[in-house]
Structure 1
């Protein structure tokens, strides 16, 4: 327990710049590091001290710890060591948010500039502070619809093999399996509908009480893809599937067959609702 408390104190101090005594006081009261940090920042009069700006030199030193001995970047081996130090699984969904923040060019790779600039923007420069930052990023990814969309769309480019226009089917399914449950559980994928804005001549997305996509539907989608087969998922299908998931009603009764959905989504709805096949120009889209 003493070692756990010491690690929590180090995380708290790394993020806030507070004294060890103040860190212990807040942790004794709030127990969880993320809650204690929020409480710290909500008491500016009692604790005016704030964390110094993240250190470029400290971040560069950390980068050198993980980068390839014969290269300029961090690759897969360094990423695995980094994940071990963070106590996080390399396949944890939060690492997609980290990759986005650090502008990782592809899976398991990190450039020095992206690493330094990214962690500075996040506001941390040490492993304990990064562990706490992961708690914030995980929560934001699960609860913030716009941030989820940014990470979701970034994932396609991040995971797509160089020179390929599509994301391999197995790869796409793997990322859907970690992204969708997280967004559904946290509220980032809450059911929405288009509503006309009173102030601007455009539609806006509004959260509704209507029941929408359910967790078990994700497996329906994956099973359908396996049955249908195919080599990959296009950017258009990847991006529009997110809009479909957010707006479809639970019974698929309000699906607009005349809207410009990719044919794969049309086929999925038809498969699940026994809709009559339709022959339109949209049926050729992938």
Structure 2
């Protein structure tokens, strides 16, 4: 354990100042009349600790390879020289936080499962927080839960829709549960690989194979159903499609060894408990994060398409729309105060003869949904825009149906 170099100290203090502002002085000036009792920063390996000077001095009598941890771990330096703050710094930073965000009770679990904070989950925040600024995240009882960076300024966030990201999560106390079996080695021993253990993942994959001799590198329908059940994922929820996207499933109910191993390694999961936690995280994030929702939604088109066909059968498409565009199974609600969009969309397509759905229409329906949730009165609509013809006609159909409904109400 040694003192930080001038460059290392500047990098560390710049990172901390992003959360504390001028209150950073309270961390680095003597906190008592005794020189030995003040706190200092020390480096062990690539990790920085905040510790009493008297203890730091005592630590010099231990060989470096036997000293695992001392004081509070603030974070670690990356190979490129950047500093990455860790959740164990929360107790050090929280009393000196400059900007704060308090989340509602219904936003606590998604956050503690690793999700970003969306506008709908924000209860209140410090005034005039700039864009891309470090904030501490609290529950309604002022308990610190973690920290992150604002996606927009407070003034801009107020104008966004409820599903827009307000705070990008950087660390949260849920890590103590999600990564219970690896937290100690990850942050207090020698640096470990971020990926999951390939050998362990291959063993898990092998245990779910339906026909090891005929198909040694594939999991079939029975094995896939058992695996999804074991990681607590239902077949009729959007999270199931999120897992399929992660593992690059070639078709519904199938996994390849390459996709399975690479997918789980990419998120650092190499046992069932981690996979269960990640599945819960995906479940919470899909309806809250538009980019993730769109990625999973678009992957569903080739996943559900019949082999040898370019388009998606209408009945399959309608089933998936009912899954993605209702909240009951992990999707988002496609309804507005005056328009039952999902019901009308399917009704309209049924009237047109239940034609197969091509890739462009499939993808643009989700974009169309976002627009209608922002403004159900088509203030954003232009006949000259490059929408699929089916959606152009649907707009006219909706306008005509609304007019008919208004006439019926007047007659009554």
Bin for the TM-score computed over the shorter chain:
0.5 to 0.7
The one of 228, 240, 243 equivalent to 2:364 is 240
1:155 matched residue in structure 2? 300
Question: CA shift at 1:119, angstroms?
Answer: 0.5
Q: What is the TM-score with the length of structure 1 in the denominator?
A: 0.68
The number of equivalent residue pairs is 221
In 1, are the aligned partners of 2:286 and 2:293 still within 8 Å (CA)? Answer: yes
Question: CA shift at 1:40, angstroms?
Answer: 5.0
In 1, are the aligned partners of 2:113 and 2:280 still within 8 Å (CA)? Answer: no
1:55 aligns with 2:132: no
Distance 1:250 1:36, change over 3 A: closer
Give CA deviations for 1:157-199 in whole Å, capped at 9, x if unaligned.
1111222111110111111111122499877x99xxxxxxxxx
Give CA deviations for 1:199-240 in whole Å, capped at 9, x if unaligned.
xxxxxxxxxxxx979883112211222222233101111111
1:71 matched residue in structure 2? 215
Structure 1: stretches of 5+ with no match in the other structure: 1-30, 191-210, 276-286
The one of 346, 350, 364 equivalent to 1:226 is 350
Distance 1:238 1:132, change over 3 A: same
State the distance in 2 between where 1:155 and 1:122 align.
20
1:24 matched residue in structure 2? none
Question: CA shift at 1:118, angstroms?
Answer: 0.4
State the distance in 2 between where 1:220 and 1:240 align.
16
Q: How does 1:8-47 map to 2 (within 5 A)?
A: 35=112, 38-39=172-173, 41=175
More strand by share: 2
State the distance in 1 between where 2:110 and 2:378 align.
42
State the distance in 1 between where 2:349 and 2:199 align.
47
Question: CA shift at 1:121, angstroms?
Answer: 0.7
Larger Rg: 2
State the distance in 2 between where 1:250 and 1:182 align.
19
In structure 1, the residue corresponding to 2:234 is in which secondary structure? coil
In 2, are the aligned partners of 1:141 and 1:183 still within 8 Å (CA)? Answer: no
Give CA deviations for 1:59-90 in whole Å, capped at 9, x if unaligned.
11111111122323111111111122123221
In 2, are the aligned partners of 1:143 and 1:186 still within 8 Å (CA)? Answer: no
State the distance in 2 between where 1:150 and 1:81 align.
25
In 2, are the aligned partners of 1:213 and 1:246 still within 8 Å (CA)? Answer: no
The one of 399, 408, 412 equivalent to 1:273 is 399
Give CA deviations for 1:26-64 in whole Å, capped at 9, x if unaligned.
xxxxx979738830548xxxx764386421111111111
2:128 matched residue in structure 1? none
Higher relative contact order (CA 8 A, sep 6+): 1
Structure 2: stretches of 5+ with no match in the other structure: 1-107, 115-171, 177-182, 402-412
The one of 317, 320, 340 equivalent to 1:172 is 317
State the distance in 2 between where 1:138 and 1:96 align.
10
In 1, are the aligned partners of 2:239 and 2:330 still within 8 Å (CA)? Answer: no
State the distance in 1 between where 2:381 and 2:305 align.
29
2:64 matched residue in structure 1? none
Q: How does 1:181-260 map to 2 (within 5 A)?
A: 181-182=326-327, 216-248=340-372, 249-260=375-386
Distance 1:36 1:156, change over 3 A: closer
Distance 1:74 1:242, change over 3 A: same
Question: CA shift at 1:156, angstroms?
Answer: 0.8
Q: How does 1:103-142 map to 2 (within 5 A)?
A: 103-142=248-287
State the distance in 1 between where 2:358 and 2:341 align.
21
Q: How does 1:79-118 map to 2 (within 5 A)?
A: 79-118=224-263
Distance 1:154 1:81, change over 3 A: same
Question: CA shift at 1:264, angstroms?
Answer: 1.2
